[in-house]
Amino acid sequence: MQAPAFQIGNQVSYNKLGRMSGLNNETLEKYIAILEKVFIVFRLGAFSRNLRN
């Protein structure tokens, strides 16, 4: 829970979270999915006013 909390306001990648937590990407994706289902975390797409981004 600390690894994603340190990334508030930044884009988060599974690779970076995996390195911080010591988990492989598959396990990490499963844990994130569980946390989403119980409304602890949620995905938020990137926002930009620039249409090219």
pLDDT digits (tens, 9 = 90+) for 12-51: 788 888 888 888 989 989 998 998 999 988 888 777 787 7
Please tell me the predicted confidence (pLDDT) of residue 53.
Answer: 60
Residue 40 token pair:
């602890």
Q: In Å, how far are 19, 29, 31 from 25, measured between CA atoms?
A: 9, 6, 10
3-state secondary structure of 18: helix
Kindly report whether the global pTM for this prediction surpasses the value 0.75: no
Closest CA relative to residue 1, chosen from 25, 37, 32, 39? 32
